[in-house]
Structure 1
Amino acid sequence: MSNLKPEVGSQDHAQGGKSAAITIVEFGDYQCPHCGNAHPILKEIEETFGDQVNFVFRNFPLQEIHELALPAAIAAEAAGLQGKYWEMHDALFDNQYRLSEDLFDELAETIGLDPEKFRSDSAADTVKEKIDNDFESGVRSGVNGTPSFYVNGTKFDGGATDLYQMLQESTK
């Protein structure tokens, strides 16, 4: 059984109930079609279960096969420095079919980021370090593809739909 390393902490982007009984960590790649397919299901989980679930996203860009995965992760992390991580996260998945270098600036503008700060933050070492730390966490936790889910620190064997069904059963 693979366990999450390190545990969820202040370095993570989380939404939902901070003291929820169920914490879900997704290791994802913004260019991965499976992550793109899982995204609407995860949004539905958030809407359905709200504060019953604490949802965390960790970057796991598969750079060998997805050349825009790392730049997309950088865009999300840079947006996070302006308090708009989840807005960029959602916008990247909503626009996955048209990912490109130009899209990042366009989305930054759409979600109301300061464009100069966004560009300088995108080049910051701290942003790259956060992504490296997330990726390293995935490697240490036994992630072998995206999306990979961990529920309360233990690898979940299944996709987003299975996760939704499991939550429905466990919160009855």
Structure 2
Amino acid sequence: MSTLHMPVSADDHVAGNPKAPIVLVEYGDYQCPACGAAYPLVQQIQQKFGDDVCLVFRNFPLVDMHPQAQSAAVVAEFAAKHGKFWEAHDALYENQRSLGESFYVELVNSLGLSSDDLKQAMQTDAFEQRIRRDIDSGLRSGVNGTPTFYVNGERFDTPGGFNDLPQVLEEMLRPTR
């Protein structure tokens, strides 16, 4: 079993209670169909477990397979710079089949952000270093596909894959609930 190489920090995208008994780290790709399938499950986990689970998202765009993955990650990071990461993250997954420049412009405009500033960020690779840091931390942690989850620093691998997450988290929390 592999462990999370880079600990969760203030630089991460965190939803929920950072002091939660369970920290769930996801390495994801916004164009990955499996990540899209995991997205509603992660939302259910957040709703069901509330303050007992802290969610962390890290970019891991698989650009060889998903031509919009890198651009979508840039859109999410651009939104994050303006305090709107989770809104962009959710919209990207909820509109996975629409990913592309016209959708990105529509999305940032709906968030009250400047599409011109987004275009500038895309042209200048403004978030390349941030995204590269996530990818590098994933590679050092043994990520070789998406989505890859870590629960309290340990890679989550079960025969049922991410579909087993709710049950495993429930079992982990049972003594404290």
So what's the TM-score if we normalise by structure 2?
A: 0.92
Identity %: 48
Q: Which runs of 4+ in 1 moved over 6 A?
A: none
For the 8 Å contact 1:27–1:59, the answer to whether it is kept is yes
1:84 counterpart residue number: 84
Matched, 1:70 2:70: yes
1:146 counterpart residue number: 146
Unaligned runs of 5+ in 2: none
In structure 2, distance between residues paired with 1:142 and 1:64? 18
In structure 2, distance between residues paired with 1:52 and 1:5? 23
In structure 2, distance between residues paired with 1:112 and 1:41? 28
Structure 2 CA distance for partners of 1:164 and 1:124, relative to 1, 3 Å: farther
Deviation at 1:120, TM superposition (A): 3.3
Deviation at 1:124, TM superposition (A): 5.0
In structure 2, distance between residues paired with 1:85 and 1:100? 18
For the 8 Å contact 1:42–1:160, the answer to whether it is kept is no
Paired AA for residue 9 in structure 2: G
Deviation at 1:131, TM superposition (A): 0.3
CA-based RMSD of the aligned residues comes to: 1.4
| Corresponding residue pairs, total | 172
Unaligned runs of 5+ in 1: none
Deviation at 1:89, TM superposition (A): 0.3
Alignment deviations for residues 23-67 of structure 1 (CA, whole Å, 9 cap, x no partner): 010000000000000000101111111111110011000011101
